[in-house]
Amino acid sequence: FTAPHPPYDPTDKSGFSYETVVKRWPIIITGVIDTLHQACHQLSLQSNLNAGTDSSAEVSNVDVQESTRKKIKEATGIIEKLSKLKYEMARDKPLVLIPDDGEPHVDTYNSELAALAKDSRDTWFTAPWLFAECYLYRLLRSFFVQTDHWASIDPFQEQKMKTFAQSGKAIYQIATTMHELEVDRAALRADPEKLGVLFNEMIQMCLWGNATDLSLLTHLSQEDIAHLQSVGKEARAARSKFILRGDEDAVWAHIKGLEGKEEAQKRVDFVLDNSGFELFTDLVFADFLVTYTPYVTKVVFHPKLIPWFVSDVTPPDFKTTFDALEDASSFFSSPTFSPSDSETTHMHTMVSRWQSYLASGVFSLSVPVETPLGGGGKDDEEVKAAEFWTSPYPYWDMRTRSPGAFESLRGSGLVIFKGDLNYRKLTGDVAWPAWTSFNEALGPLAGSFPLLSLRTNKADVVVGVEKAVAERLDARGEKWRVDGRYALISFLGLSAG
């Protein structure tokens, strides 16, 4: 499918893409370099310590020191590649080919690069933004996967967990809300009107969960994040005026319509975005749908197979999130926060319910939870389908580019696409006028399955907003497309809207 508008790229210096290449990517790459430096520092401290200990250990000190030396050497190699990448990016050099590292999409990225080169659009300041950004994370992955020691390392993992650990206040508050629902579960399930009101709160909580992705942390302070996570009614009401498109009533009507459908259609899919707080809000929303409404019986979560856009959920993240929640009272305790006894009980009840859902298949990850980064070389259908989420393709080409991914969603009662990047891929990241219908912007994907996008605006592309509203915001000079303060709830059912 070819859209009638050009893709966003950094040749427009007023766009967010330009700022991204100039500022945000270099900061992210520098962060990875720092992480590796720190890891090496730890390794050498450890090895010095070992050197001082008793030599009767089973693995001799010489072996340990040799292996440490090798790890550090490999890390130094990655750091060199990262530094070169930063240098080339700043000087608008061409994007280099992805090496044949045994992981998916080498040809996909490289053939697109060849096509761009023919057009002289294969450099950091000329390549389409969506393509270049996906390429960047695939290239980073290649640096790691070509080593022995670092192939299963996610350079963003620590950052993801650290930020999650700072979300205790909001997380416990939500667990308590869920506990309050539990008290009148039976009455709720039989009261569609009350459920509708709660649904609105849940969908908004899940939407604003997207405000805290780490690739934006390059300009958000910890205080900003705490503010974005505040979940009280007032905070939510204050934010609702920032929702520029609100299809929540149509979504709710659609979900209610799932009652009486075949079991297979009472399924909701989440194409996940970020790990940590956002994933937690996804799980809460999923829990609400299966526990308190009679309309949904199963939820499938779709992760990324490689470290992606800093904070996206990988299968290891999904597992560590559950580990953290299982041990929530120590994981979230900090000098400024510790949960009360009743909060601890509420959290425990909720997380135990989620675990039982995972065990019984009510909740599932689209690939086995143990799937290692990169997919572990598996050819299983689900792993192949999941590879699509780290390709650079717009979703209007999903059916042709990845029949597996397409089929995995077909027949779902509702597919929820979380976050900004998913939105960019849904709309192809091209310069649609903001008042283009969501239906038109989805191209051939429209009508394939009922589709909901929950997105806080962090990139230029926007559709489905009234012309007068868009023009007013533009006239005020607001950065409403990119500053993360505004959001969209966009829904399209099976028939075009």
**Angle, alpha carbons 392-140-22 (nearest 5°):** 80
216 makes contact, choosing from ligand F6P, Mg ion, none, with CB < 5 to 8 Å by partner type, with ligand F6P
Complex with ligand F6P: residue 280 or 309, whichever CB lies closer: 309
Nearer residue to ligand F6P within complex by CB, 7 or 339: 7
Dist CA 110 CA 99 (whole Å): 9
Main-chain phi, psi angles of 422, to 5 degrees = -60, -35
CA 461 to chain CA centroid, Å, is 18
One-letter amino acid at 274 equals N
Q: Which is nearer to ligand F6P, 89 or 459 (CB)?
A: 459
Residue 364 has phi, psi (to 5 degrees) of: -150, 155
Residues 192-251 that bind Mg ion (CB under 5 A): 213
Residues 491, 254: contact at Cβ < 8 Å? yes
* Binder of Mg ion out of 74, 273, 343, 397 (CB under 5 A): 273
d(CA 243, CA 172): 25
Residue 383 burial by CB count (10 A; 0-12/13-18/19+): exposed, middle or buried?
buried
Q: Distance from CA of residue 449 to its chain's centroid?
A: 21
Shortest distance, position 366 Cβ to ligand F6P, whole Å:
18
133 binds, among Mg ion, ligand F6P, none (CB under 5 to 8 A by kind): ligand F6P
User: What is the token pair recorded at 391?
Assistant: 């390709």
Asked if 423 and 488 touch (Cβ cutoff 8 Å), the reply is yes
Q: Does 274 bind Mg ion (CB under 5 A)?
A: yes
Nearer residue to ligand F6P within complex by CB, 216 or 470: 216
Q: Which of 269, 312, 317, 343 binds Mg ion (CB under 5 A)?
A: 312
Helix (H) or strand (E) holding 487: strand 487-492
Q: Which does 387 bind (CB under 5 to 8 A by kind): Mg ion, ligand F6P, none?
A: none
309 binds Mg ion (CB under 5 A): yes
Q: Least distance from C-beta 59 to Mg ion, angstroms?
A: 40
For ligand F6P, give the closer residue by CB, 239 or 266: 239
Cα 279 to the center of its chain, rounded Å: 8
Which helix (H) or strand (E) segment holds residue 207: the answer is: helix 192-208
Which of Mg ion, ligand F6P, none is residue 398 near (CB under 5 to 8 Å by kind)? none
User: Which residues are near ligand F6P by CB under 6 A?
Assistant: 20, 24, 133, 210, 213, 215-216, 273-274, 309, 419-421, 424, 458-459
Q: Which amino acid is at 78?
A: I
Least Å distance between CB 274 and Mg ion?
4
Q: Which is nearer to Mg ion, 247 or 312 (CB)?
A: 312
Least separation, in Å, of the C-beta of 211 and ligand F6P? 8
Check if the beta carbon of residue 44 is closer than 8 Å to that of residue 72: yes
- Of 28 and 383, the one with the shorter C-beta distance to ligand F6P is 28
458 binds, among ligand F6P, Mg ion, none (CB under 5 to 8 A by kind): ligand F6P
Based on the shown chain and the rule CB under 5 A, indicate whether residue 417 belongs to the binding site for Mg ion: no
